[in-house]
Amino acid sequence: MNQPCSCSFSAFEAVPELQKQTQIDFESILRVSTRVSDQWAEIIGCERCRTDFTTLVIITTAAERLLTLYTAVCKAYGLSEKQFDPPGNRLDAHPHESTSSAEGATATTQTGTTYPVCAHSMMKFGKLSLEGDDARLLAHVLLSRSLVRLGELLESYTCLAFGDNTITSKDDVVVACESSLVETMEKLTLLVAQVKI
């Protein structure tokens, strides 16, 4: 695989920000999601970075974490007909303490791991403040847009990183990353299908 250039450095910096959050408001989730997605689009367009080993590990970890944040939004706003267990971090799993939040959202805990909790943000459409069903509808639209963009970026990245035997030798970490990305994309597809108004 090639060595990364400077366009991938900002993407690396975003991962600790994603990982450290245990309680985060919806507006912050959208902001970090947009930032990461923009960085990924830049990486996909770079022939050096998109086939770099470190980039693969970072994108795999960030994709898992973004999916847990989107799942937290679904729980906070009641946007999904089915509650999904967020994907476990295969590359950097570690135990956390339990967390709870206001606004009635709760963390899902499995085998000692606490997943992030989404707190409601003030929802505005232009200068108009939204509450209740209107706020939920706007949250649905914004979340759906983020889910679709993440899915498109992951599909493009996996095709470029693993297509046409780009990676000729697959060690255990590369195999784990490939498997994790496939699983994340499958869960993302299910989440998109289940998100409702």
Using one digit for the tens of pLDDT, what is the confidence trace for 182-192? 898 888 888 88
With bands split at pLDDT 50, 70 and 90, how would you rate the model's confidence at 12?
Answer: low
As for how many domains the chain has, the answer is: 1
For a pLDDT cut of 90, what percent of the chain falls above it?
A: 6
Q: What is the pLDDT of residue 143?
A: 92
Q: Which residue's structure tokens are 């509808």? A: 137
- Note whether residue 178 is domain-resident: yes
> Which has more confidence, 197 or 181?
181
- Give CA separation, 60 vs 73, 77, 85, 100, in Å: 20, 26, 17, 27
Structural domain of 190: 6-194
- Give CA separation, 182 vs 141, 162, 187, 188, in Å: 25, 11, 9, 10
- Note whether residue 1 is domain-resident: no
Neighbouring-strand partners of residue 106:
100
Q: What is the mean pLDDT of the segment spanning 145-155? A: 90
Query: Cα(38)–Cα(97) distance, rounded to whole angstroms?
Result: 32
Contact status, residue 50 vs residue 166, Cβ threshold 8 Å: no
- Note whether residue 71 is domain-resident: yes
